[in-house]
Copies of this chain bind each other. A is one copy, B any other.
Amino acid sequence: MALIVQKYGGTSVGNLDRIRLVAKKVSEARARGDDVVVVISAMAGETDRLIGLANQLSPSPMERDMDLLMSSGERVSAALVAIALNAMGTPAMSFTGRQIGMITDSVHMKARIRKITGEKVRAALAEGKVAVVAGFQGVDEATGSVTTLGRGGSDTSAVAIAVAMKADKCEIYTDVDGVYTTDPNIVPNARRIDVISFDEMLEMASLGAKVLQVRSVEFGKKYNMPIYVKSTFMDVGGTLVTQEMSQMEEVVVSAVAFARDQAKITLLGVPDKPGVAARIFTAVAAKEVNVDVIIKNVSDKGLTDISFTVPKVEVRQTLEALKPVALEIHARDVTHDENIGKVSIVGVGMKSHSGVAAKAFEALAAGGINIMMISTSEIKVSCVVAGDEVNRAVRILHDAFELALPAGQRKSMGGK
């Protein structure tokens, strides 16, 4: 008898018929003899509705209050799924984050999991019940306050619970049938990827492919918990996210990811001397802002420009954090540009293949696309481009690396 953790996203529990469908799928898994822990997101649109209410009342609500507010959505849907399961004759019990012992740090709205005690879940399973857990939420042990794990946090809840419960597998059910070589809305002949490594998925998630929250993949990688991404509405397909395997090496580039949620901040006329960059990024980090791509221009008469990208929603905080620093280091000006996008190619095969970045830059240049910033890692090349050129850049790169073809049939750079 295996233990399976299944997570269902907001669209999968978006209305009562879909909640019944989720209950049916869970009942079927249970009927196959497995123990099942179900992790549930808020009904589609609910979290945004709650945030909308708060934002109408306050431009800057306290994050502790926001967490209490937002965590309600998952509680409602977990209770409803448990009610639907019991109505179907599948014994089930609903749990909040606190009740499963999901202990986090004190950083509201993006808390990190410290541990999961899980006694009540184990007790429910031992009684033959399905445990239905409200995702996205935990409790700050020090203060007893409700915390949430950041948007998409239910994925992380699910993988962390799977690890804590020593589950055999973790299935993430969503409204798409797996991970694609890029967004099919932009490139119609994008292909579904059958198996992808944690590292590639991590790059893709952090680059804006919205299938899995990036922290859930980090958890999966750290504890080697395979994650199956599947469709709630189709029985076929799916993508397995797992450890790197030898067969993957033949694929140079696996996918093209992109993001539009970043903005570019530039400090102009900054003295080019040791400690200045540290001063800037320490101030930004103190606001818990995630800085992404950073570039420093070549120095001119002892002055330089420093640009970096941050999430658009954190521009205001970042600019505030920079104000005193800019004065202190005598920067000429601080500017920001929200009309940018980031396009990236991802693939573990890049490690052992040279020329991948060059090929990408050439393809974009041939398409007349100006690259504003570049950032690379062992398995990805990211280019920041103008916001209105993102779609075209994605198509150009998807074509250049022949991602619409099955991996074995790709000519360019394959097996080079």
> Nearest chain B CB to A40's CB is how many angstroms away?
12
* Cβ–Cβ < 8 Å partners of A146 in chain B: 96
> Is A54 in contact with B83, judged by CB distance below 8 angstroms?
yes
Q: Give per-residue flags for A6-31: 1 if the beta carbon is below 8 A from chain B beta carbons, else 0.
A: 00000000001001100000000000
> Is B62 in contact with A86, judged by CB distance below 8 angstroms?
yes
| Copies of this chain in the oligomer | 2
> Is A57 in contact with B69, judged by CB distance below 8 angstroms?
no
> Is B65 in contact with A82, judged by CB distance below 8 angstroms?
yes
In Å, the complex CA distance between A72 and B71 comes to 9
> Is B82 in contact with A75, judged by CB distance below 8 angstroms?
no
> Is A83 in contact with B99, judged by CB distance below 8 angstroms?
no
> Is A75 in contact with B86, judged by CB distance below 8 angstroms?
no
For residues 52 through 90 of chain A, which have their beta carbon under 8 Å from a beta carbon of chain B? 53-54, 56-59, 61-62, 64-66, 68-69, 71-73, 75-76, 78-80, 82-84, 86-87
* Cβ–Cβ < 8 Å partners of A87 in chain B: 57-59, 61
In Å, the complex CA distance between A16 and B58 comes to 11
Q: Give per-residue flags for A177-190: 1 if the beta carbon is below 8 A from chain B beta carbons, else 0.
A: 00000000000000
Q: Indicate whether A120 reaches chain B with its CB closer than 8 angstroms.
A: yes
Name the one of B57, B65, B82, B144 contacting A94, with C-beta atoms under 8 angstroms.
B65
> Is A58 in contact with B84, judged by CB distance below 8 angstroms?
yes
> Is B57 in contact with A16, judged by CB distance below 8 angstroms?
yes
Name the one of B73, B84, B94, B145 contacting A64, with C-beta atoms under 8 angstroms.
B94
In Å, the complex CA distance between A19 and B57 comes to 9
* Cβ–Cβ < 8 Å partners of A71 in chain B: 75
> Nearest chain B CB to A273's CB is how many angstroms away?
42
Q: List 22 A-B contacts (CB under 8 A).
A: A50-B76, A54-B83, A57-B80, A58-B84, A58-B86, A58-B87, A62-B82, A66-B83, A68-B78, A68-B79, A68-B94, A68-B96, A69-B75, A71-B75, A72-B73, A72-B76, A72-B79, A96-B146, A98-B98, A99-B144, A99-B145, A120-B144
Which positions in A face B, CB cutoff 8 Å?
A: 16, 19-20, 50, 53-54, 56-59, 61-62, 64-66, 68-69, 71-73, 75-76, 78-80, 82-84, 86-87, 93-94, 96, 98-99, 120, 144-146
